[in-house]
Homo-oligomer: A and B are copies of this chain.
Amino acid sequence: MAIYKEVKSDLSDKISEGVYKSGDRIPSERTLAQAYGVSRMTLRQALNELENDGFLRKEKGRGTFVTSKDLYQENLRSFTHTLIARQIVPSTRIIEVCKVRHIRHISQLLQVHRDEAYYKIKRLRCGDEVPIGLETVYIPVIHVPDIDQYDLTQSFYTILEEGYGYEMIRSACEIEACLANSILASLMEAKKKSALLKVSGVTYSQEDKALFYEESYYKSDLYKYHVDIMGQR
């Protein structure tokens, strides 16, 4: 791993462990660079990322400070959990599970090598037996060897956690609206040209490892997206 990422990770740990507390000034760039035995430019890259992630705040001529704990919130809840919370009985129909070859834009997002294969897992998610969403996950085979041996009608999150020890930390999603084409309409038992919510993005596990890419469609009348946005402008 890149040195600056090691440094970033270490500093991040120190912040969450309370070695550097909220509002504290951390040591100067030159001091830290010497302590870690890296050049100042390298150390700065670590600090800059931590600043972008909202952990640090720099003040010219004064120093670098740990930000107060305004962290983003909102639960990363799987489809299954969301439905259960609403007392709807979730079910899943497997549409397709297969291995596919390199797909460039996905490899780019997940930062995997160009000739890694993926599992493509396409599932129809239902609530009380009514189709609600069509979820397609692309996950590198090396991350989850033999995942096709699992019962994929279960919660995907649970399989990743209990089967492989991953822990989902965050997702970066893009949300848009689209119309159902004939394929989507037929699979989801929706009217052609009805409005669908399209959610696509990458989910990350421990150490900010990009774990899988997902592209999902939901019937908007049945499944809305709730988001809490925390400020910091």
Chain A positions within 8 Å of B, measured between CB atoms, are: 41, 52, 59, 71-78, 81, 108, 157, 167-179, 193-198, 220-221, 224-233
Contact = CB atoms under 8 A, between A and B. Distances in A.
10 contacts: A72-B229, A76-B230, A76-B232, A168-B231, A170-B228, A170-B230, A171-B227, A176-B221, A177-B198, A178-B195
Given A77-B233, A233-B81, A228 B177 contact: no
Nearest to A223: B176
**How many copies of this protein are present in the complex?**
2
Contacts of A233: 75-78, 81, 157, 168
The 6 A-B residue pairs whose C-beta atoms are closest, nearest first, are A76-B231, A177-B177, A177-B220, A177-B195, A175-B225, A176-B220
Contact of A226 (B81, B172, B193, B194): B172
Contacts of A175: 175, 197, 224-227
A208 to B, nearest CB: 12
Contact of A225 (B71, B78, B176, B221): B176
Nearest to A114: B61
Contacts of A193: 193
